[in-house]
Amino acid sequence: MNQLLYKSTRGEETPATSARAVLNGLAGDGGLYVPVEIPRADFALTELPAMSYAQTALRVMRLFLTDYSDEELQRAVQAAYGDKFADPEVAPLVNRSGAWFLELFHGPTLAFKDMALTILPHLLVTAAQKCGEDREIVILTATSGDTGKAALEGFAGVAGTRVVVYFPEHGVSSIQKRQMTTQEGENTHVIGIVGNFDDAQAGVKKMLADKALAAAMAARRQMFSSANSINIGRLIPQVTYYFYAYGRLLASGEARPGEEVNFAVPTGNFGNILAGYYARCMGLPVRKLICASNSNKVLFDFFATGIYDQNREFFTTMSPSMDILVSSNLERLLYHAGGGDAAQTANLMRSLSASGRYRVPESLREGLDAFSSGFATEAETALAIKDVFESGRYVMDPHTAVAFSVWRHYRRQTGDHSKTVIVSTASPYKFPADVLASIGAGGDDRDPLALAEKIAVLAGGRVPRAVRELGQKPVRHRTVCRKEDMEAVLRSILGLNSG
């Protein structure tokens, strides 16, 4: 097979192998790695129904990660999807209330981040070996809740790696906080910061770019990498479940091979839906990718007007993982839709960092026709949770509900009744207070485990083990620091002098 190389969205940097791109995380010029060409699927759609999730992952990923051997990929796929997911299907497709819910939340941390973060550590360690890199890899992560726990869980106990997570001490749900502070594994470090997510993110970015820090780490044979969705190693595994969902529709006779379906995706950093775009480019029959935002509707406005503008009020919503105004992976779409024009992408990104906004040329907008977009207010999100519970006895989490609500509007507005897969990104047990309040069975957020039990009764299900055991697990991480002290804390963790 031909080697597929990766280049930066912003420049003429020499193309890198997939292993190097995974290891580096971010390209040297600040751009994101993209495949020089998005590969076509080398299997027929009619093969999909017989393929397990792991088999689908292997077939999809080997097209992108061409310098990994099949044995290496097989090992990574087995380690990730072999027995870490509570559902034997890994990502079951459930038909309720006229829609198909692709449940991506049966992994160890109950959110879709597990789909990629269970496998990324293995891809990364293999990449290090292939690139002759023997330094300890330090994964530095800022989180608003879901990514941090998934990265901790993914990298815990992985030899040759260390994972350091900063979260806003008062900016995550009580379940999310407990998930992180009880994390096991000698190579895991969790730090609450006095500040919000943007402070955590800014502090992490500063450390990643700090030359003196990098030099001090190199002297101790340590290097940084990234577990955020800017890493192409997170994006590629996510392409799998678009093919897998289509295979399930074929297997149950709900769709004929070649029939176009829609995917509605609750979107924040644009990583999940971009994986759907890659699947579509590979030949998956996707009619529309429906980009669903909450009240932070910067993406909806972008698709509607061609203008991206982050200068706006920031809303804290019940779908916190989508509370984001700088959607990093959109840069990759701009690059592809703009015909691979890196200079143009670089210009748009320069404008974004200078003024917080940019306008794309009409020619680029024509490349966005795979997408439709919408947003759901808090009231609409709550109503969707209630309606689907009452009509289908199915309990959605608030992120999934945003996608459902946007799809409902889309169908009414366009009359497009194509089958639609709602990409379900989190378990309702992770956000029990908002879910119960939406259904009208509210409770006290100070006892989230009791609330989770209440959801189990309503849904006729069981509280997932990952939530149940939170009650018994001891808190292992208690460090809280000021945002000014993030680097000092890191230096002490890594055994570096205080700079």
Question: Which residues participate in catalysis according to the annotation?
Answer: 113
Residue selected from 31, 35, 268, 276 as contacting ligand PLP according to rule CB under 6 A = 268
Min dist. Cβ of residue 57 to ligand PLP (A):
18
Closest CA to 106 of 124, 93, 120: 93
**Dihedrals phi, psi of 270, to nearest 5 degrees:** 70, 20
Residue 413 burial (C-beta neighbours within 10 Å; 0-12, 13-18, 19+)? exposed
Which of the residues 372 through 411 are near ligand PLP (CB under 6 A)? 399
Which of the residues 119 through 148 are near ligand PLP (CB under 6 A)? 146
Rule CB under 6 A: is residue 111 a binding residue for ligand PLP?
Answer: yes
Query: What is each CA distance from 184 to 105, 278, 297, 350, 454, in whole angstroms?
Result: 21, 35, 37, 41, 28
- Dihedral sign, CA of 135, 141, 147, 152? positive
- Residue type (1 letter), 54: A
Q: DSSP letters along 344-396, please?
A: HHHHHHHHHHHHSEEE--HHHHHTTTTEEEEE--HHHHHHHHHHHHHHH--PP
- CA 293 to chain CA centroid, Å, is 14
Overall size of the chain counted in residues: 499
**Ramachandran sector of residue 444 (left: φ over 0; alpha: ψ -120 to 50; beta: rest):** beta
Site string for ligand PLP, 289-328 (x = CB under 6 A): --------------------------------xx------
Residue selected from 6, 425, 432, 448 as contacting ligand PLP according to rule CB under 6 A = 425
Closer by beta carbon to ligand PLP, 139 or else 489: 139
Closer by beta carbon to ligand PLP, 119 or else 426: 426
Closer by beta carbon to ligand PLP, 48 or else 279: 279
Closer by beta carbon to ligand PLP, 17 or else 238: 238
Rule CB under 6 A: is residue 421 a binding residue for ligand PLP?
Answer: no
Residue selected from 267, 372, 381, 420 as contacting ligand PLP according to rule CB under 6 A = 267
Site string for ligand PLP, 220-239 (x = CB under 6 A): ---------x----------
Query: Site for ligand PLP (CB under 6 A): how many residues?
Result: 17
Task: Calculate the dihedral angle through the C-alpha atoms of 215, 217, 218, 219, rounding to the nearest 10 degrees.
Answer: 90
Query: What is each CA distance from 465 to 104, 261, 314, 427, in whole angstroms?
Result: 16, 33, 34, 12
Pick the stretch among 13-21, 109-117, 385-393, 474-482 that binds ligand PLP (CB under 6 A): 109-117
Min dist. Cβ of residue 271 to ligand PLP (A):
3
Min dist. Cβ of residue 74 to ligand PLP (A):
26
Alpha helices per DSSP H over 87-145? 113-117, 120-130
Pick the stretch among 26-34, 244-252, 265-273, 465-473 that binds ligand PLP (CB under 6 A): 265-273
Beta bridge partners, 421, equal 100, 263
Show Cβ contacts of residue 22 under 8 Å, excluding neighbours closer than 6 positions. 65, 120, 123, 124, 127, 231, 232, 233
Min dist. Cβ of residue 269 to ligand PLP (A):
3
Min dist. Cβ of residue 239 to ligand PLP (A):
13
Closer by beta carbon to ligand PLP, 226 or else 267: 267
Closer by beta carbon to ligand PLP, 146 or else 199: 146
- Return the residue matching tokens 């200078």: 354
Min dist. Cβ of residue 168 to ligand PLP (A):
15
Min dist. Cβ of residue 36 to ligand PLP (A):
23
Min dist. Cβ of residue 157 to ligand PLP (A):
23
Q: DSSP letters along 8-67, please?
A: ESSS-PPPB-HHHHHHHSS-TTS--EEESSPPPPSS-GGGGGG--HHHHHHHHHHHH-TT
Which of the residues 152 through 211 are near ligand PLP (CB under 6 A)? none
Rule CB under 6 A: is residue 271 a binding residue for ligand PLP?
Answer: yes
Residue 276, classed as helix, strand or coil, is: helix
Residue selected from 237, 266, 276, 448 as contacting ligand PLP according to rule CB under 6 A = 266
The footprint of ligand PLP (CB under 6 A) covers: 111-113, 146, 229, 266-272, 321-322, 399, 425-426
